Chains A and B, each alone.
Chain A
């Protein structure tokens, strides 16, 4: 819907759209109906929840930063250069989108576990063991969320009018300056979208985390893991923690969308 007036749409579009909304909204209503409102404060103040919340925020933000540091350059390379096997590289980078996260977690374990092809030598040389560590949580979250950063940024770079960059270059700007002063500012809305989507995916990450990093309160138990364990033990607690996840995500997604995030 445009902001400058209503467009008349076929009625079927509204019906189908409402069904789409219902698919997402109905389960949320289910969650709200089950929420133990009177005990909510007590449930959320427990050490398990506070630890999981802290760890979730920390690991999702760290994963987003790592994804930005390596994902934006990767997106630039994919959008701006042509090399043999580029389709293969792009497919590989997008793989975590379709792969069940548990499979991703198992693959991480085989590669980066202390008996893994890469993790083995790392453990031998430095004593650093990634599984069952907070670093492992960040790594698992980065693995699953990186495609969101790459996809978003690469897509907008492809649609960019390249004459501005050409003009800057012809005026003597170095490639680094062009990138910093022309290209990236022009794709800023997509960069922000990329950050938000990457962070949101990292926050919700479950399967790869529990498979690769295990489940220890205070160290590797993020909010989604806490929900999973609580579901089998204390359903009220599970619902309360889920509500925290929903609330955080909704606040961030709605407020950023209104202010920044019109690009998508």
Chain B
């Protein structure tokens, strides 16, 4: 897996690469724009993907300055590459995502035992799948799943299209989609989002500070994240 930066930075403008979990896609697009607006000499290249793919890219030597992961596990796996501490900057909870109007009348996690419904979760190799596994286990539900999607956006897309009756997605994904309704899950598991620097630079450090600042927190909150 090789990471390609998008073009050379123009003269006098330094570039940093930020690898961000899929579920951060919208929030971090806005974050990068807001950061660039107040730091016109820095260009942010966003590399969005499943936290586990991003981890693999880093372990294979991709040139990444900042890593924002949807869980602590993937950050711990690259701890040898980190410069400075990994800090929790947001939290997320799972919801049951259903197509608008909830055509299959899903009411709760126990519906994940129904084999007559088409149900999806994330693959347990990625944070949202890991969280889903824990949430279902805590609820004592033996889920009959039809697909283990490789990333949460793919899962959301299939719920949006109405091809799945329900899936366990982040509250932030429900927030971002007009075609998906969310049902709260009665189990208090959250996933911590951590951010860390991989390549020491004042620009990377400034971006992390920006994410942790009030402006950054407001952006995250607007996208449905719970703040630590």
Contact = CB atoms under 8 A, between A and B. Distances in A.
Interface stretch (B28-36, B142-150, B206-214): B142-150
Given A109-B163, A132-B147, A217-B148, 19 more contacts: A109-B161, A113-B161, A113-B162, A115-B162, A115-B163, A132-B118, A210-B154, A214-B120, A214-B146, A214-B147, A215-B123, A215-B148, A216-B145, A216-B148, A228-B150, A229-B123, A229-B148, A232-B50, A233-B52
B158 interface: yes
Label chain B's interface by main secondary structure.
Answer: loop
21 contacts: A114-B163, A115-B161, A115-B162, A115-B163, A129-B118, A131-B158, A131-B163, A132-B147, A210-B150, A214-B149, A215-B123, A216-B146, A216-B147, A216-B148, A217-B148, A229-B125, A232-B50, A232-B123, A232-B125, A232-B150, A233-B125
Interface residues of B, number: 22
A113 B150 contact: no
A251 to B, nearest CB: 27
A110 interface: yes
A186 B124 CA distance: 52
Contacts of B161: 109-110, 113, 115
Given A129-B118, A233-B52, A215 B163 contact: no
Contacts of A211: 154
Nearest to B53: A232
A231 B59 CA distance: 12
A211 B50 CA distance: 16
A215 B52 contact: no
A240 to B, nearest CB: 16
Interface residues of A, number: 22
Contacts of B145: 216
Interface in A103-150: 109-110, 113-115, 129, 131-132
A5 to B, nearest CB: 43
A214 B158 contact: yes
Interface in B73-91: none
Contacts of A235: 56
Interface of B: 50, 52-53, 55-56, 118, 120, 123-126, 145-150, 154, 158, 161-163
Contact of B163 (A113, A228, A231): A113
A220 B163 CA distance: 15
Contacts of B162: 113-115
Contacts of A228: 150
B223 to A, nearest CB: 24
A224 to B, nearest CB: 12
Contacts of A131: 118, 158, 163
A110 to B, nearest CB: 7
Nearest to B99: A115
10 smallest CB-CB distances across A and B, nearest first, come from: A214-B147, A232-B52, A233-B125, A232-B125, A115-B162, A132-B146, A113-B163, A215-B148, A131-B163, A229-B123
A58 to B, nearest CB: 19
